[in-house]
Amino acid sequence: MDLDDIKAQLDRIFAAGPRTASREQAAGLRAALIDFKIGISQMRDALTRSERELEAARREVADYARRRELASGIDDRETVRIADEFTAKARERVDLLERKVLVQRDELAIAEREYEATRQRFQAASRGLPLDAALPAEGAVGAEGLSSVDQAVMDRRAKEAAVEAQLAHLKKKLGDTK
């Protein structure tokens, strides 16, 4: 599963919105996190392979340049010409691989950021918080390490629980007098 498939899966989870319970969303997010880990691992492997290819291509350029110098030292024009051709092709390959490695590094960085955001959403959903409260604003962290949004949701839920407990107590009290 690639990054686009994971994004599509997340879009389906988020499209359900408030109609879906946080716990159900947590299950979908957990599956997405697993897919993210697999995808990120594959991206790292591909980046490692590309970096190895780049190093090999750079060695080829150096080898061709060295052969050209040796051939020019013995005045072998044909070998110099062939070495120049191969050096040019190898340099093009190095340029291509350098761009490929840069793009793969950027893609990996994006995937890691999206994994972290999804992990935060999963943690919030598994605690029963709504998904829109899962990603705090930059720097908005409360005294207990919770974001200000998480803290507000937790406060609201605590108040609702207190009201429900008070209501249950009153119902019980009224029920006893009858």
Is pLDDT above 70 for 135?
no
Reported as a single tens digit per residue, the pLDDT across 96-107 is 999 999 988 988
For residue 95, the surrounding DSSP H or E stretch is: helix 77-126
Using an 8 Å Cβ cutoff, are 125 and 26 in contact? yes
- In degrees and rounded to multiples of 5, residue 127 shows phi and psi of -90, 0
Calpha distance 126→167 (Å, rounded)? 27
Q: What is the pLDDT of residue 41?
A: 87
- The residue behind tokens 């598994």 is 126
Is pLDDT above 90 for 123?
no
- In degrees and rounded to multiples of 5, residue 147 shows phi and psi of -70, 165
Encoded tokens for 99? 């761009």
Q: Does the predicted model carry a pTM greater than 0.75?
A: no
Calpha distance 109→104 (Å, rounded)? 9
Tell me the average pLDDT across 148-163.
59
Most confident of 31-40, 82-91, 142-151: 82-91
